[in-house]
Chains A and B, each alone.
Chain A
Amino acid sequence: MSAAAAPTPVRKLRVATVSLGGCFGCHMSLLDIDERLFELIEKVEFDRSPLTDIKTVGPCDIGLVEGGLCNAENVEVLRAFRAHCKVLVAVGACAITGGLPALRNHLDVGDILQSVYARVPDDPELPLPLNRVLPIHEVVQIDVALPGCPPPADAFWQLLQDLIAGRAPQHLPGLIRYD
């Protein structure tokens, strides 16, 4: 094979994903694109993600953020994602609204810890809980939101196809779901 016959390599988009105050259900739904993962991996490479086990986020084209903000570590990770990702996507009900963790928002954090652990845990490895679970758009600018609990696999696929193609994400009827 001569070098001239080789197609010009297209730079793969770099994608980071994280679950903050989430249940990883959105990540499971992403994996539900099934055999389309083979097509996807031709066009993207993963940075920080539970799929790669890379612990810190680097410069990325797309950041997918699952889960709301429950504690100080969630806020730090979210800010790192915003700083490194060109397009930041709020994925799922928890990232967009706080979700079911936000059911605790009308309760006192100290009372919750006391009733769950019988004392307020005091360990430097534990991040401090926030008084109120926040949707991520209350802390950083969000470029796209993908609703659903979880968003359907087809919604992930549509979003990634649009972003890979350089299009504005289309929210097709039936792919906007809140449950």
Chain B
Amino acid sequence: MSAAGRDDFFELDGQRVPLQPGDTILRAAARAGLDIPHLCWHPDVSASASCRLCTVLADDRPVAACVAPAVAGQKVECRTASLDTQRLRLLQMLFVEGNHFCPGCEKSGHCLLQAQAERAGMTDLHFEALNPERPVDASHPDVLFEPNRCILCQLCVRASDEMDGKHVFAIGGHGIATRLLIDSPSGRLGDSALSVDDRAAHICPVGALLPKRVGFAVPIGERPFDTEDTRG
């Protein structure tokens, strides 16, 4: 145990962030109410460092803040011009790799990908849209699987493994062909052990896994990522 003082803090963009034993940079920052942009991190499951949106410079070395241990006295930079541009390009790549139609999506206003892109100041796609062909799986009576919106963050995989104990999801394939796999004889969600009451059915940060019959229930202006600036 260190005495109170410099050893109990690290510095994030010039602000002192208190540490607890076992903290990662992202967890300590989140507890202090400081925002490090992220997509694949959730406080209730283990970290996977798959999206890399939370990349920060820790003592000048780039690390994923969701898995990098917070070290007392360390100087961490998050909002530099270079890292902000890197995040913007990363978000644009996520958008062109899938089929993200915000205007018609039930998740709009509830979507972490959309919110992070808006906060990053993303106004265009920059890259060529790939328009992949990914058939929708509506076979489950209560949960829709819309792979066009999947960003392979693995939150459903971890939620099913760690909180539901069902192992319904996994990641398969390589490179651009990487996709979400469903553990069922047909490979379809309706034949899997997933229940709408599972955490995995609700943890998706985008609109890829959605409980059915609740879309558009919350009006524009009252959705989680709406702000006072939002029209409507």
- On A, residues with C-beta under 8 Å from B are 90, 93, 96-100, 102-103, 105-106, 132, 134-135, 137-138, 142, 144-147, 149, 152, 154, 171, 173-179
Task: Name the residue of chain B whose CB is nearest to the CB of A106.
Answer: B133
Asked if A177 meets B230 with Cβ closer than 8 Å, knowing A99-B101, A105-B131, A149-B102, the reply is: yes
| Chain A residues near B105 (CB-CB < 8 A) | 179
Is B125 part of the binding interface, using a Cβ–Cβ cutoff of 8 Å? Answer: yes
Distance in angstroms between the alpha carbons of A154 and B109 in the assembled complex = 19
Is B103 part of the binding interface, using a Cβ–Cβ cutoff of 8 Å? Answer: yes
Instruction: Indicate if the CB atoms of B124 and A145 lie closer than 8 Å.
Output: yes
Binds A, one of B115-123, B139-147, B172-180: B115-123
- On B, residues with C-beta under 8 Å from A are 95, 99-105, 108-109, 114, 117-119, 121-126, 128-129, 131, 133, 220, 227-231
Asked if A96 meets B103 with Cβ closer than 8 Å, knowing A174-B227, A174-B229, A179-B109, the reply is: no
Please give the distance in Å from A101's CB to the nearest CB on chain B: 10
Distance in angstroms between the alpha carbons of A176 and B119 in the assembled complex = 8
| Chain A residues near B99 (CB-CB < 8 A) | 102-103, 105
Please give the distance in Å from A132's CB to the nearest CB on chain B: 7
| Chain B residues near A99 (CB-CB < 8 A) | 101, 103
Instruction: Indicate if the CB atoms of A171 and B231 lie closer than 8 Å.
Output: no
Distance in angstroms between the alpha carbons of A103 and B148 in the assembled complex = 11
- Best-buried of B114, B122, B227 by chain A (most CB within 10 Å): B122
Instruction: Indicate if the CB atoms of B231 and A179 lie closer than 8 Å.
Output: no
Known: A97-B101, A100-B101, A176-B122. 13 other contacts (CB 8 A): A97-B100, A102-B101, A102-B131, A103-B99, A105-B99, A106-B131, A138-B128, A145-B123, A154-B231, A173-B119, A174-B227, A176-B121, A179-B220
| Chain B residues near A98 (CB-CB < 8 A) | 129, 131
Instruction: Indicate if the CB atoms of A179 and B102 lie closer than 8 Å.
Output: yes
Asked if A178 meets B118 with Cβ closer than 8 Å, knowing A99-B103, A138-B129, the reply is: yes
Distance in angstroms between the alpha carbons of A144 and B122 in the assembled complex = 11
Instruction: Indicate if the CB atoms of A147 and B123 lie closer than 8 Å.
Output: yes
Please give the distance in Å from A1's CB to the nearest CB on chain B: 44
| Chain B residues near A174 (CB-CB < 8 A) | 227-230
Distance in angstroms between the alpha carbons of A154 and B231 in the assembled complex = 10
Please give the distance in Å from A17's CB to the nearest CB on chain B: 18
Please give the distance in Å from A173's CB to the nearest CB on chain B: 6
| Chain A residues near B101 (CB-CB < 8 A) | 93, 97, 99-100, 102-103
Q: Can you report 29 residue pairs joining A to B where beta carbons are below 8 Å apart?
A: A93-B101, A93-B102, A96-B123, A97-B125, A98-B129, A98-B131, A99-B103, A100-B101, A100-B104, A106-B131, A106-B133, A132-B131, A142-B124, A145-B124, A146-B123, A149-B102, A149-B103, A154-B231, A176-B122, A177-B230, A177-B231, A178-B102, A178-B103, A178-B117, A178-B118, A179-B102, A179-B105, A179-B108, A179-B109
